[in-house]
Copies of this chain bind each other. A is one copy, B any other.
Amino acid sequence: MSDEKDFLKTYRQDDYPRPSVTADIVAFTIREEENDNYRQNSGTKLALLLIRRGGHPFKDCWALPGGFLNPDETIEQCALREAEEETAVKPVSLLSVGLFSEPDRDPRGWIISNAFVSVISEEQAQQSGDDASDAQWFDVDFVQDAGGDYILTLCYRDVTLRAVLEEEGSGFGKTSFRIKESGGLAFDHARIIATALSMLRSGAREFEHIFDFLPETFTLTQLQKVQETIMNISVLPANFRRKIAAYVEETDAFTQGAGHRPAKLYRRKTVKG
């Protein structure tokens, strides 16, 4: 086997051109809307974390958090590290969206990026994105217009980013998009966000990831609103409860202090039957 040792000693990795590799984080959370009637439950919105770029390129544009892959970590560990750095919280889940590798996607040079969907629970999300910071949660709206194009609208205070995308292909529950207008988002991030949303939605249909948006215990109405918010649909409570029953188990606790009938708290059932 000294053959192999010899080979490895003389092998020069620098013979091949190499790109820089980054992990970008598409961090989602669910937020409650403001509400003047304290007895009425609030609506919920899907929100996405963006960071205002302080330096070139795309200075002052909004971009996904992310960072470079180190030689001693996997891309998943890199994503986790970056997610924790940027949001100051440990994401509940981290799921790969795919590798984005257009040679000219980054004006700094050959930089390819693997994107990850990260789900942050509402309680944790409040710790990040304060007013002073350049990291902010944007309300998300993603719909198909009459012409078949997809419109991604991201909104924070008086800032509105509106990107237009075209479906490019789909498979394995993932839809790919081509950017028609990036709407002020940096790099190809509009495309990454759209793809991430398509995967989040397709997973939510079978109750994947929806638990990650909520704390340990939750009411079934909360859980239903998470699914409805992500998928932009509405379902009847009776039917949702039947379908979700196999995935949750009761606790002894109830909600308190709402101006109406208390709801039983549930917990995710670990083994699904």
Query: Which of A's residues lie within 8 Å of B, judged by CB?
Result: 3-4, 7-8, 11, 13, 16-21, 55-57, 59, 68-76, 93, 95-96, 98-99, 101-103, 107-112, 114, 171-174, 199, 202-203, 208-209
Contacts and interface: CB of A to CB of B under 8 A. Distances in A.
22 contacts: A7-B56, A8-B56, A8-B57, A8-B108, A13-B110, A13-B111, A16-B20, A18-B21, A19-B69, A21-B112, A71-B110, A74-B102, A74-B103, A76-B101, A93-B171, A95-B171, A96-B99, A96-B172, A171-B208, A171-B209, A172-B202, A172-B208
Contacts of A199: 172
Given A69-B101, A171-B95, A208-B172, A109 B13 contact: yes
Copies in the complex: 2
Contacts of A171: 93, 95, 203, 208-209
Contacts of A69: 19, 101, 112
Contact of A55 (B7, B102, B173): B7
A70 B55 CA distance: 28
A148 B66 CA distance: 36
A56 B4 CA distance: 6
B72 A103 contact: yes
Given A16-B20, A18-B18, A96-B99, 15 more contacts: A3-B56, A4-B56, A4-B57, A13-B108, A13-B111, A16-B68, A19-B21, A19-B71, A71-B110, A74-B101, A75-B99, A75-B101, A93-B171, A171-B208, A172-B203
A3 B114 CA distance: 29
Contacts of A17: 70-71
Contacts of A20: 13, 16, 18
B108 A11 contact: yes
What are the 6 tightest A-B residue pairs by CB atom distance, in nearest-first order?
A7-B56, A18-B18, A75-B101, A13-B109, A74-B101, A4-B56
A43 B207 CA distance: 37
A172 B103 CA distance: 27
B74 A11 contact: no
Given A8-B57, A18-B18, A18-B19, A99 B114 contact: yes
A190 to B, nearest CB: 17
